A = this chain, B = another copy of it.
């Protein structure tokens, strides 16, 4: 009869402290009703919209561009590589209806001026109007220990994650406001934008920074009715993932050994599902949801009950995961030191 006794005990507590219990329930109810966005219907609808996809020639960006074309959107793909761009353009046109406008623009988005110009060029067939939905998927990852990173790699790693999206975001926000238009900006951060470990000093700062920009902009754009979202995917199969793994330090590999990268189309599907539901922070994996509830700084939640579960589990589970990651670093320590010794990294010979 343990359940009955528990209920009876709780009833007693309620009888002794009715005001307290009512306050807690009212607060919880308010949280459920107003905090969870159940009454903010999402109006995500790509059909007929101009969608601007950076990094859209491979991986997540390309999968997303294909999905948007299939839904009847006009799509502009922006990336540096012209060969991949032309290929993507052909692939997208093959699945588009004749009235859909499909464009490819080659631009180096780590440059502010190129980012602004690409946005202007994309707007030309639309009477100069800013794209409606922007999906900022461009970015790359080259994990490396800080000791092995040149200054240039440290800098380029950051720029290729943060500025590659931030310049476009600033240009788009200003254009939308000036044109009295609204729209949506979707940043793409990463699980490694919630937490980080050995090997990611060139990468996590940029992914955290995107979250800082997005968290601030989400609040600020309530003024202008521009919607901000941030996607926090785990590993996605593709050329980006292969290049990342080619040089990944041994300890970083070990920490991630149980992670499974998913297909770009699957990740894109999770992103659009979140957009349709009106979520602010969108994940493609339950592990990222655990991280989210211990890392999101109180931004609007998604599903109240699921979030409660994630919060309870991650409050205890997440520090445990971090401890095992720390243990992996300690276990891999000697191999790194031996390697540095062999490569003559140190100024002076080993003593003792």
Contacts and interface: CB of A to CB of B under 8 A. Distances in A.
A295 interface: yes
A220 to B, nearest CB: 4
A8 to B, nearest CB: 6
Contact of A299 (B5, B195, B298): B195
Contacts of A82: none
B8 A5 contact: yes
A337 B182 CA distance: 14
Interface in A52-85: none
A222 interface: yes
A13 B6 CA distance: 10
Given A146-B174, A319-B298, A212 B193 contact: yes
Interface stretch (A42-50, A99-107, A133-141, A203-211): A203-211
Given A35-B320, A178-B346, A222 B326 contact: yes
Most chain B CB within a 10 A radius of its CB, from A13, A194, A297, A337: A297
B212 A206 contact: yes
Interface in A170-214: 170, 173-174, 177-180, 193-201, 203-213
Given A323-B35, A329-B219, A146 B162 contact: no
For this chain, the copies found in one complex come to 2
Contacts of A319: 31, 35, 298, 300-301
B294 A296 contact: yes
Contact of A173 (B146, B207, B333, B346): B146
Interface stretch (A88-96, A147-155, A264-272): A147-155
B180 A217 contact: no
Given A208-B209, A209-B162, A346-B180, A330 B6 contact: no
A87 interface: no
A317 to B, nearest CB: 9
Contact of A2 (B16, B35, B180): B16
A316 interface: yes
B13 A9 contact: no
A155 B170 CA distance: 11
A34 interface: yes
27 contacts: A2-B9, A2-B13, A5-B5, A27-B316, A145-B220, A151-B167, A177-B345, A178-B347, A180-B348, A196-B212, A196-B215, A197-B216, A197-B219, A198-B216, A198-B223, A199-B220, A200-B212, A206-B209, A208-B209, A208-B212, A222-B326, A223-B329, A223-B333, A224-B337, A291-B297, A297-B318, A298-B319
Contacts of A237: none
